[in-house]
Every structure is written in structure tokens, then in C-alpha cells.
Amino acid sequence: AAVDFKSEYFTMSEEDVVRYVKTEMDFFDSNEQLSCKEIGDGNLNYVFRVKGSSGKSVILKQAGPVARISNEFKVSPDRNRIESEILRIQGKLAEGFVPEVYHYDPVMNCMSMEDLSDYTIMRDALLKKETFPQFADHITTFMVNTLLMTSDVVMNHKDKKALVKDFINPDLCEITEDLVFTEPFFPSLRNDVFPALQHFVEKEIWGDEKLKLETAKLKFEFMTNAQSLIHGDLHTGSIFIKKDATKVIDPEFAFYGPAGYDVGNVIANLTFAYMNGAVTMKDQQSREDFLHFIEQAIIDVIDLFKSKFEKAWQQHASDQTAAYEGYMEYYLQNILRDTAAVAGCELIRRTIGLAHVKDLTSISEEEDRAAAEKACLTAGKTFIMNRESYSDGTAFFKVISDAIIKD
Ligand code: SR1
Ligand code: MG
């Protein structure tokens, strides 16, 4: 059942947060001077950084009663509980890959956590054309450890069902069902199509009945396949990064869903960075270096995910049937199929749906933006329609490079 906001709850200002941290938390010394700034730029919550005069700092995240992006979305405060609990679980399964959680307050619907101020949001870093050669290694360890280890393949089935119950997340799942799997595929009023693409979208997306049928299948798969405890929104804005470390944040969309949902989001969001670089970078050498980095990252995310998954399966699979010959290969190929499909939906919905990505919207030249967006839509369609066909990283990357109109 949906959790209501308690009567004592109110959305906090920066001054309220300073008072809250002083009276409700035991983080700073009592004589420290505190300053606070709201730094959130996500679509849902308020994120405050509180700094003490000693140099210590903490992040406090509060869930408001409606989404920040639009008050059409009334989202349960339970997302804050989900986020704090899953961060603790992921912190155990994938040590070092998520921020440490300090506290959760079910009345004020806020939580506090480690301040990662020496990291950058990955989407912003990629827009500055920074490269992170260890990213694929880090994110695949995170995904294999959190996805395989929470599945029925490894967990006691009753313990897993208890987790399914704890992570029922109806409001945020509804957002994904609507914004990812439904609205981008018909002329919904909430869509936001770049005018130069209107005709292309009407014909190639809204006019393609075969594509629409496949998205119906994918939507119901998302709603019914309680495979793994997924992050649920693993785009590059949910990743803090620096050269030698990666931290995954913002798992408030977490629930038991298809494992490929997370992998597909990573692939699609690397693709946005690739398309941005392909149309905006003018210096040939830097362009080649950056595009090569993203290409390799896409290939490695798939191939390292596969090899680490196979190894972890050999070590940890506990179900009797998991050892039957051919089953692991079947299971993994289904995750790759879902990865391709979700990458396709994410590529399309971030291009023409309600919630866009800066990788595309920041392209200033109309022609360049239209070219990048068409390539995303074309790759997206191909991934959805041919989702059974991809078994390695090179095959995934080929869809992306083939989608670019070459002149
Ligand atoms: C109403 S929220 C819009 C989008 O922002 C989040 O990060 C999710 O991706 C959601 O679909
Ligand atoms: Mg988020």
C-alpha cells in the first residue's frame, strides 16, 4: 500500500536542513558552523550538501510529495526508504561502489549519506569529453554482484520473495511503465519532440505497428519478470565518477525486475555520449580518442558483464537446476536480449519522451542535434526489433555505429 506523508513532515529549506542536521543527527561537533546548499538537479528529489567549518560534509536527500520535474507525478515518500535500504544492500554486495548511508528518517522522508564531492556526475564529465578507462570494469562488477546475487539462481527462494515484497515500488514503476514503455510510442501530450524530427517520429516510431507490438511485450515483461533487485534508473546521471573509482547513486526506482534493465540503461546512456561526441567534436584526434573510449566501454560493458556473470554463476549458483548443461547460457542470453530491448527503449524515450538527456539537448546546431537524435531513434528501433540477435559487445556496438548517417 502507498505510504502517506506524516503530519509532522514538511519540505525543508536550506535553513531547515541546517537546523535538522544540528538537532536530529550526530554528524558534526556541536560547536561547528554549518552552511547548506541545495544541489539537486535530478527529476524527483531535493539534495542538500551541508558543510561544517571543520571541513566535514554530508549529503541530505529529501523526497518531496511530487516530482520536481512536474507536479503531475505524485510519488510516494517510500522511495526514500527504498533508496536507503537498497544502498545498504548494494554496499554489501558490491563493496565500494555506492555511497555510505548514515541515517534514514521515515517522518521527514530524508536520508543522509557520504558526500562524494571529489567525484563528478558521469554525464557531465562525458559532456566535457573526459574518459574513464576503468568504468566498464567497475560498472560490470557492480551489476553482476547486485543482479545475479539477488536472483533466485543464488538466493534462498523464500528470502528472495521477502525482498520482492520489501521492494514493491508501485509509484516509481508506474513512471517507468508510462515514460519508458508507453508514451514515447504514441503521440502522448507529455512527449517532447525536437521539431526537426516530427515527421521522422510520426513515420518511424508512431507509425510503426510492428515496433509498437514489441514495446507492449517489453512493458509486460518489465512488470512481471521479478528476476533481480535492479537499480531501475542506471543512467550516467546516476553515476558519480573519478579516474579510478565509480559510485552508483539514486536507486530509488529499485524493485525486482529484469536484470537487463540496468545493463540496457548503461549501454543507452553511453550511446548518448557517443552521439554527442560524434556530432559536436571538431578536432579530429580528440574526437577519435573520445569515440574510441566510448566504443570500447560499450563493448567491454557487455563482454565483461558476460565473463564476470559466468564466473559468479559457477561460484555462487545454488539452485539444483542451475547446474544443468546449457541453462546458464540460456539465462545469460535472455539478459542480453533484455539489455538490447531496454537500451532501445531508453534511446527512444530520452530522445522524444518527457525526460530528455543533456547529451542531446545541449547540441546547439539544429542539424547536428537532428542527426544525433535520428541516430538514437534508429539504433533504438534496431535494438528492440532484433533484440534476440546480440551476443557480444561488438554486435551491440555495430548497431550504434550503423545508425549514424555517414556523409
Ligand atoms: C518523472 S521522473 C522522469 C525520469 O527521471 C528519472 O531519473 C527516471 O529516469 C524517470 O523516468
Ligand atoms: Mg535519479
- Per-residue pLDDT reduced to its tens digit, 145-200: 999 999 999 999 999 999 999 999 999 999 999 999 999 999 999 999 999 999 99
∠ CA 257-258-264, nearest 5°, is 125
CB of 74 closer than 6 angstroms to any ligand 1 atom: no
CA distance 170 to 280: 39
The secondary structure of 157-188 as a DSSP string is HHHHHHHHHHT--HHHHHHHHHHTTTGGGTT-
List of residues 6+ apart from 84 with CB closer than 8 A: 101, 104, 111
CB-ligand 1 contact for 179 (6 Å cutoff): yes
Q: Which of 41, 43, 169 to mutate to test the pocket of ligand 1 (most atoms within 8 A of CB)?
A: 43
User: Hey, whose CA ends up nearest to atom 6 of ligand 1?
Assistant: 43
Q: Domain segments of the chain: what residues?
A: 14-114, 120-403
- The CA-based diameter of the chain, rounded to the nearest angstrom, is 65
Atom of ligand 1 nearest to the CA of 73: 1
**What is the rounded average pLDDT for all residues in the chain?**
96
- Cβ-contact 184, 352 below 8 angstroms: yes
Give the position of cell 518527457: 354
> Which residue's C-alpha comes closest to atom 8 of ligand 1?
233
Grid cell locating 318: 545454488
> Which ligand has the shortest distance to the CA of 75?
1
The answer, yes or no, to whether any atom of ligand 1 lies below 6 A from the CB of 67, is yes
In 3D space, the residue among 277, 282, 288, 264 whose CA is nearest the CA of residue 404 turns out to be: 277
CATH classification (class only), 14-114: alpha beta
pLDDT digits (tens, 9 = 90+) for 363-402: 999 999 999 999 999 999 999 999 999 999 999 999 999 9
Does position 20 have pLDDT exceeding 60, yes or no? Answer: yes
Ligand 2 center from residue 104 Cα (angstroms): 18
Alpha carbon of 210 to ligand 2 centroid (Å): 31
d(C-alpha 390, C-alpha 392), whole Å: 6
| pLDDT for the residue numbered 3 | 57
Q: In the predicted model, is pLDDT for residue 406 greater than 80?
A: no
pLDDT at 5: 67
Element containing residue 281 per DSSP (H, E):
none
**Window from 63-67, 195-199, 200-204, 320-324 with minimum mean pLDDT:** 63-67
Which pLDDT belongs to residue 1?
A: 42
Predicted structure pTM score: 0.97
The reported pLDDT for the residue numbered 256 is 98
Is the distance from the beta carbon of residue 233 to the nearest atom of ligand 1 less than 6 Å?
A: yes
Q: Whose CA is nearest to atom 4 of ligand 1?
A: 355
Q: Tell me: the pLDDT tens digits for 93-110? A: 999 999 999 999 999 999
Whether 355 lines ligand 1, by a CB cut-off of 6 Å, is yes
Q: What is the pLDDT of residue 66?
A: 87
Q: How far apart are CA 111 and CA 81, in angstroms?
A: 8
Q: How many other CB atoms sit within 10 Å of the CB of residue 298?
A: 26
Q: Name residue 104's beta-bridge partners.
A: 111
On the question of pLDDT at 320 being above 90, the answer is: yes
Residue 235 has pLDDT above 70, yes or no: yes
Instruction: State the ligand closest to the CA atom of 184.
Output: 1
Tell me which of 61, 69, 236, 347 to substitute to probe ligand 1's pocket, judged by most ligand atoms within 8 Å of the beta carbon: 69
Contacts of 68 (CB under 8 A, 6+ apart): 40, 42, 43, 44, 45, 46
255 falls in which pLDDT band (50, 70, 90)? very high
HSE-CB at 280 with a 13 A cutoff on CA atoms is: 22
Contact 400/271 with Cβ under 8 angstroms? yes
CA-based torsion, 164, 167, 170, 176: positive or negative? negative
Q: Is the Cβ atom of 75 under 6 angstroms away from ligand 1?
A: no
Cβ atoms 194, 370 nearer than 8 A: yes
Instruction: Note whether ipTM > 0.90 here.
Output: yes
- The yes-or-no answer to whether 14-114 and 120-403 have a common fold is no
Non-local CB neighbours of 165 within 8 Å, separated by 6+ positions: none
For the domain 120-403, what is the CATH code?
3.90.1200.10
Please indicate whether residue 73, judged by its CB atom, sits closer than 6 Å to ligand 1: yes
User: In this structure, are residues 27 and 112 in contact, taking their beta carbons and an 8 Å threshold?
Assistant: yes
